[in-house]
Amino acid sequence: MEFQKKQDDGRRAIRNKQLIRVVQFLSCMLLTTFVGQAALAQTAVEIELHNTASAEDDFLCWSPVKARVRLAQTQSSDKTVSVSGTVSGNGRLQFSAQSATSLTSNTYSPNDQINIELPANGGWVELFVSGSKASDGSKDVSIRVAEATSGSELGLLPVMVRVRKNANNLSQVEKSNLLNALASLNGHQSAIPTESYEKYANAHRVAFEIGIHQGHMGWPLFLAWHRAFLLSLERELQQIDPTVTIPYWRFDEDNSNIFTPDFMGTVAGSTSPFGTIVQFSQTNPMLGWRMTSGGTLTRLRDSSTRLQNVYPPSRFQLLHLIMDGSGANEYGGSVPANGINSQLERRHHNYAHDSVRGWLGSGASPRDPLFFLLHANVDRAWAEWQAKLGKFNKSEVSAYSAQGAYPGSGGSSTPFRKSSYAQDVMWPWSQDDGSSTPNDSQDNWPSSGFAFLPSPSGFAPVGDPTPASMIDYLGMLNSTDSTGFCYDHINYFGEVQ
Amino acid sequence: MKSIFGLTVLFTLMACSQSSSAELDAEILSHPDPNVVQFYSDNLSRIEELRETIALDDEDVERRIDALVTLEVEYPLAAEITARSYVSDENERLALEAIQVLQGNLIMSDHHMPHDMSGASPRLRYMFEKHDASKAALRNAVADERDTVRVESASFLASLSDEQSLQIISEGAASGLYSEVEAANLYTLASDGVGEKYLQGFVGNGELEAQQTAVAYLGSNPDYQSTIRDAYFLNADAPTVLRVEAARTLSTYDVGFISYGPEITEQEGVDPALFEATMDSLIQLQKIRPILTPDQSQLLLDKTQSYIGTQQLSTEDEARFSDLTEELRTIAMQEQRLE
């Protein structure tokens, strides 16, 4: 229902947008006819985000994206207008009239309101817009264009500042949107389970062979591969409901709102003393969460109190030093165990998986959707480290340790398999199964049929993801590299709140 | 192949015996990354110092645990090898710490073990051998006499769907080391159809709570749904609590529930809890995927009203059945309107 509602909302928004333009056009015509040229102070404008008329791509986060405005009708003279964001909902916007094809976090200087000059001939004027405060699960903020002198409104474009948030603090609408999208992807509306969701669990399993874990062995992929994996699912969910993002599970903080029958389920109140079968409420779309292989979702424990109470703080000392920038400041590290890639894996990630167990404790752990909330938190911690230490240069070995591309068959002298190097397209998105090089066993992959969906908003990566394309995820060094996802507490300028 | 065999023997020997420093060094030295080998070689004296502290059983246990934690933080490979020897240590806290060190290494390394290792890189081969050796060591704790040590290691290995551990748990349940409920819950942690064959043993057998767990779990698997349906849901001789559990699970997971669920209304002497659970399940199903025809909706409404008329219901049950009847009436009216 919610899914259908969202689709209807989307269609309604497009219709409204078209209607606004028709009304604006008719208003102009009337004014022109009956009032004459002098009355053209009421001229309407057209506004587009990502330089398309479609409402489907009207989403952004902290990174600056292109927008454009023009007069709907040619005029006798240029017109000065103000551009700002509405303040009725939760989302907030900022703008910059800088003329450039792309920006960096050092060159972007946005304001809450800017004035621009619209040419009389109806030509587009480009500007940059970014979010400064997150929306609450819908297009609750609009780009507002008004007459610079009188303040009369000339046009509105509803958009959403869509960012990943702490799952413990989601609004009811945000939770509901996420659960409905997950259930829809997993085929809950149909009687027969589909593999649309389960393919993630299967891919994760096989991908172990390319070294997506065990960073302390020197394998570089853990953080970069899982970032792409999260984004892959997120885009698939957004195809169902464009307002959805993957929230993060702060397993190192209170998370009592996550493990409830109405959200991610609970093992509290299960049928037996140390019950393991996850309980959902009757109204939770996740009720009956299933895989084609059968079985019901199990967890040993609900939350991560174990993580805080059982593991001695001394185990986290090295990670804390690295996160503060006072420890090793490399992605991989000359001693692999001490790089951020290994430390986040061994401390945050492994302990979180281990604290829950059941489906989340095995190689097929993405079967439990909690997997993605867990990994969003690991990714968030990596993003925080990147922001604090400025590790966004995809060509630097300290930002990603396996630079270059797979050098070809080198036997044991080639440390990593194809798919691991910065310029390699990662499996399962790579469609290269290595059949053209039969003597090289390091580049053989099963065909996955796994597609990395392009962003309707044109966010990177354009094409299939490489580790390099995951590094400057905010587009801080080049706004065109922005992947379109952001965390609520790390802004475009690398400030961690 | 020869080198794989050699490595396997080496790892297995280490897993099964108290490690000496020479053997441990050999395992680290066989690491495929020369940088890693160099790092461990350079720090061997520090590693040995920490190991000696861990081994001193007359020492303050806090100091021993600190040494193991430090080893794990600074030299994870050395810690993993060392921890294998302490999972059954006489000191319970040290044993649990050693188990956690192994778990931290094993948790995400079992994804997809290829049967054919010929195409595996040296790094991957090393990883698999290391994984197997640590898992073998951890299995020793599954039959430990101490509850904490036993359940900690068993719940972890069950989550990895480790068949050998499930077998140890099964034998432990037979000997009384594990309660039946503990065993049943541990089996549910396994995936890939591994736990099901052990849970099957509780169908019609064992403690009520263990059976309840088996019903809740097996009822979600299409391969076992007919068993749960016949042994519990439709079986008038089965305990009500188990029949109710079967109704909940089957209605959630079995698409065929709509065809046999209403049979409950035909049975005599059905407990109100089961009648209510079945009707409620059908109502919930109808909300997700409309499946009842107007005739079926009306029939269920009639049957429910008739059932209420024959029962001495408690005040609480009366209120619940009143809500149920109202919901059924609404559905029946909606369906008739749609028709």
pLDDT above 90 (res A142): yes
Closest-CA residue of B relative to A273 is B181
Facing residue for B156 by CB, picked from A218, A346, A357: A357
Query: Which of A34-38, A250-254, A370-374, B246-250 shows the lowest mean pLDDT across its residues?
Result: A34-38
Point out the least confidently predicted range of A250-259, A451-460, B94-103.
A250-259
Nearest to B69 among A209, A314, A346 (CB): A314
Contact call for B73 and A275, based on CB within 8 A: no
pLDDT bracket for residue B15 (50, 70, 90): very low
- A65 neighbors A49 (Cβ within 8 angstroms): yes
Q: Note whether A218 contacts B123, CB cutoff 8 Å.
A: yes
Check B181 against A273: CB less than 8 A apart: yes
Tokens for A398, please give them: 């300290």
Q: What is the pLDDT of residue B17?
A: 42
**pLDDT top residue among B108 and B133:** B133
* Structure tokens that stand for A408 in this block: 């070809």
- Complex ipTM, two decimals? 0.88
Question: Are residues A403 and A435 in contact, defined by beta-carbon separation less than 8 angstroms?
Answer: no
More confident residue, B129 or A275: B129
Q: What is the pLDDT of residue A270?
A: 54
> Residue A295 and residue B122: Cβ atoms within 8 Å?
no
List the structure tokens of A247.
């929230």
Instruction: Render pLDDT for B64-92 as a digit per residue (tens, 0 to 9).
Output: 999 999 998 889 899 999 999 999 999 99
Residue type, A415: P
Contact call for residues B40 and B28 (beta carbons, < 8 A):
yes
Of A189-198, A248-257, A319-328, B193-202, the range with the highest mean pLDDT is: B193-202
Q: Which of A294, A345, A357 sits opposite B222 (nearest CB)?
A: A294
Closest-CA residue of A relative to B76 is: A337
CB contact under 8 A, A314 and B70: yes
- The reported pLDDT for the residue numbered B58 is 73
In this structure, what token pair is assigned to residue A372? 């993605």
- Most A CBs within 10 Å, among B30, B73, B324, to test the A interface: B73
Flag the least confident range among A295-309, A344-358, A450-464, B296-310: A295-309
Is B76 within 8 Å of A346 (Cβ atoms)? yes
**Could you tell me the pLDDT band of residue A27, with boundaries at 50, 70 and 90?**
very low
What percent of chain A has a predicted confidence (pLDDT) above 70?
86
Contacting residues of B for A220, CB less than 8 Å apart: none
Pairwise pLDDT comparison (A75 vs A211), residue with the higher score: A75
Report chain B residues whose CB lies below 8 A from the CB of A416.
123
Record the tokens describing residue A25, joined without a space.
């056009």
**CA-based nearest distance B29→chain A, Å:** 13
Task: Report the percentage of chain B scoring pLDDT > 90.
Answer: 58
Sheet holding A153-161, edge to edge: A59-60, A153-161, A141-147, A79-85, A113-118
pLDDT interval class at A413 (50, 70, 90): low
Pick B120 or B24 by higher pLDDT: B120
Res B33: pLDDT: 79
The tens digit of pLDDT for each residue in A101-141 reads 889 999 999 999 999 999 999 999 999 999 999 999 999 99
Average the pLDDT over B120-128 and give the result. 79
Contact state of B108 with A353 under an 8 Å Cβ cutoff: yes
Closest B-chain CA to A206: B112
Residues of A in contact with B192 (CB under 8 A): 293, 364
| pLDDT of A4 above 60 | no
Q: What is the pLDDT of residue A166?
A: 96
Question: Residues of B with CB below 8 A from A359's CB?
Answer: 159, 191
Least confident of A19-28, A315-324, B112-121, B203-212: A19-28
Confidence of residue A410 (pLDDT cuts 50, 70, 90): low
A290, A296 Cβ separation under 8 angstroms: yes
Q: How far is B258 from chain A (nearest CA, A)?
A: 12
Q: Which of B63, B81, B111 would best serve as a mutation to test chain A binding (most A beta carbons within 10 A)?
A: B111
CB distance B190 to B159 below 8 Å:
yes
pLDDT of residue A347: 82
Output the pLDDT for position A336. 72
Q: Which residues touch B54 (CB under 8 Å, ≥6 apart)? A: B64, B67, B68, B71, B82, B86, B94
Cβ contact B188–A358 (<8 Å):
yes
Structure tokens at B202: 């509780």
pTM, rounded to two decimals: 0.89
pLDDT digit string, tens, across residues B17-73: 444 444 456 888 888 878 888 889 889 999 999 999 999 977 689 999 999 999 988
Least confident interval from A61-70, A319-328, A429-438, B115-124: B115-124
Contact pairs from chain A to chain B, CB under 8 Å: 187
CB-nearest partner of A272 from B103, B155, B213: B213
Does residue B116 have a pLDDT over 80? no
Ramachandran region of residue A294, left (φ > 0), alpha (ψ -120 to 50) or beta?
Answer: left
Contact: B126, A217; criterion CB under 8 Å: yes
pLDDT at residue B332, rounded to an integer = 84
How confident is the model over A183-201, as pLDDT tens digits? Answer: 999 988 776 667 899 999 9
Torsion of CA A306, A356, A256, B288, to 10 degrees: -170
Q: What is the pLDDT of residue A311?
A: 63
Note the pLDDT tens digit of each residue in A291-313. Answer: 887 788 999 988 656 666 666 67
The stretch A159-172 carries a mean pLDDT of: 97
Q: Quick check: B220 and A294 CB within 8 A?
A: yes
CA distance A493 to chain B (A): 33
Whole-number pLDDT of residue A37: 40
B155-208: pLDDT as tens digits: 999 999 999 999 999 999 999 999 999 999 999 999 878 999 999 999 999 999
CA distance A203 to B4: 27
| B291 vs A360, more confident | A360
Please state, in angstroms and as integers, the Cα–Cα distance from residue B119 to each residue in A28, A209, A315, A411, B129, following that order: 71, 11, 36, 10, 15
Burial class (CB in 10 A: 0-12, 13-18, 19+), A262: middle
Model confidence at B10, pLDDT cuts 50, 70, 90, reads very low
Whether the predicted pLDDT of B115 surpasses 70: no
φ, ψ dihedrals at A496, nearest 5° = -100, 115
Cβ–Cβ below 8 Å for A362 and B181: no
* Closest residue in A to B119 (Cα–Cα): A441
Nearest one of A86, A43, A96, A41 to A65, comparing CA atoms: A96
Identify all chain A residues contacting B114, using CB atoms and an 8 Å cutoff.
Answer: 209
pLDDT value, residue B117: 63
Q: Residue A41's pLDDT band (boundaries 50, 70, 90)? A: very low
Long-range CB contacts (< 8 A, 24+ apart) of A456-462? A456/A54, A456/A56, A456/A57, A456/A242, A457/A49, A457/A50, A457/A57, A457/A58, A457/A59, A457/A60, A457/A65, A457/A484, A458/A50, A458/A57, A459/A483, A459/A484, A460/A484
Q: Give the per-residue pLDDT at B4.
A: 45
In terms of C-beta density within 10 A (0-12 exposed, 13-18 middle, 19 or more buried), how is residue A147 classed? middle
Q: In the predicted model, what is the mean pLDDT of residues A456-465?
A: 93
Q: Quote the minimal CA–CA distance from B137 to chain A in Å.
A: 18
Q: What are phi and psi of A445, to 5 degrees?
A: -135, 145
Other residues' Cβ atoms within 10 Å of the Cβ of residue B155: 24
Tens of pLDDT along A261-275? Answer: 999 999 976 544 457
Interface with chain B: mutation pick from A1, A190, A194, A217, highest number of B CBs within 10 Å: A217
The residue in chain A having the minimum alpha-carbon distance to the alpha carbon of residue B189 is A358
Contact A442 B121 (CB under 8 A): yes
Q: Averaged over A33-46, what is the pLDDT?
A: 54
